[in-house]
C-alpha cells in the first residue's frame, strides 16, 4: 500500500486547471508544449494532487491510450520535497492507481536528459521500449518506458 494519497483534480474547475498549468510551467520549463488551461479543461488526462503525511508534495496523472494501456504524465515532486525518495513512491502510486482501474500496461515518455526519472522507472521494472530523436520538437529526444502489469 502506497504511503502517498492521490486526490483527483476536477479539471472542469478553472482554479484546479490553472493550478496544474502553473505547476507544469514551473517544473517543465524545458517543455516546448506546456499544457494550457483550455487543454486541461478539455479533459482526457486524469490529474491528481499527491499527499504525503497530509501535505501536498506534488502532482501526477495518466490518460488512457486504450482501455488497458495508460500513459502516465506530469509526475512531479515539489522542490522542497525532492531527493527523499518521494519521486519513486509517487511513480509507484500512479502505477498502483492504474492497476486498480484495470490497466494492463503502463508507459511513460521521458526526456533523454531526465536521468532521475529514467532511473526511477528502470528500478520499478520498466524497460526502455524506444528512443525517439527529435520527438516532441527538434532537439527534444525522448525515451519511452513501459511495464506490463501483472
Ligand X SMILES: CC(C)(COP(=O)(O)OP(=O)(O)OC[C@H]1O[C@@H](n2cnc3c(N)ncnc32)[C@H](O)[C@@H]1OP(=O)(O)O)[C@@H](O)C(=O)NCCC(=O)NCCS
Contact residues: ligand X, CB under 6 A: 27, 75-77, 82-88, 110, 114-117, 119-120, 123
Q: How far is the CB of 102 from ligand X (least distance, A)?
A: 23
Burial (0-12, 13-18, 19+ Cβ within 10 Å), 138: exposed
Q: What is the C-alpha to C-alpha distance for residues 145 and 131, in angstroms, rounded to an integer?
A: 9
Q: Buried b / exposed e across 60-82, counting CB within 10 Å, b at 16+?
A: bbbeeeeeeebbbbbbbbbeebe
C-beta of 70 vs 77, nearer to ligand X: 77
C-beta of 41 vs 50, nearer to ligand X: 50
C-beta of 14 vs 147, nearer to ligand X: 147
Q: How far is the CB of 103 from ligand X (least distance, A)?
A: 18
Instruction: Give the bridge partners for 59, in sequence order.
Output: 49, 76
Q: How far is the CB of 95 from ligand X (least distance, A)?
A: 13
Q: What is the C-alpha to C-alpha distance for residues 90 and 96, in angstroms, rounded to an integer?
A: 10
Burial (0-12, 13-18, 19+ Cβ within 10 Å), 104: middle
Instruction: Give the bridge partners for 60, in sequence order.
Output: 48
Q: How far is the CB of 138 from ligand X (least distance, A)?
A: 19
Residue nearest to ligand X (CB): 87
C-beta of 12 vs 25, nearer to ligand X: 25
C-beta of 67 vs 139, nearer to ligand X: 139
Q: How far is the CB of 137 from ligand X (least distance, A)?
A: 16
Amino acid at each position: 500500500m502506497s504511503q502517498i494519497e492521490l486526490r483527483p483534480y476536477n479539471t472542469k474547475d478553472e482554479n484546479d486547471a490553472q493550478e496544474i498549468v502553473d505547476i507544469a510551467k514551473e517544473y517543465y520549463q524545458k517543455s516546448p508544449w506546456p499544457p494550457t488551461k483550455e487543454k486541461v479543461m478539455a479533459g482526457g488526462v486524469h490529474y491528481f494532487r499527491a499527499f504525503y503525511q497530509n501535505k501536498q508534495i506534488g502532482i501526477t496523472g495518466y490518460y488512457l491510450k486504450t482501455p488497458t494501456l495508460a500513459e502516465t504524465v506530469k509526475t512531479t515532486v515539489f522542490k522542497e520535497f525532492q531527493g527523499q525518495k518521494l519521486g519513486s513512491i509517487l511513480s509507484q502510486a500512479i502505477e498502483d492507481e492504474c492497476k486498480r482501474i484495470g490497466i494492463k500496461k503502463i508507459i511513460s515518455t521521458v526526456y533523454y536528459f531526465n536521468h532521475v526519472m529514467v532511473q526511477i522507472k528502470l528500478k520499478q521494472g520498466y524497460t526502455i521500449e524506444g528512443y525517439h530523436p527529435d520527438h516532441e520538437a527538434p532537439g527534444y529526444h525522448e525515451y519511452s518506458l513501459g511495464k506490463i502489469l501483472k
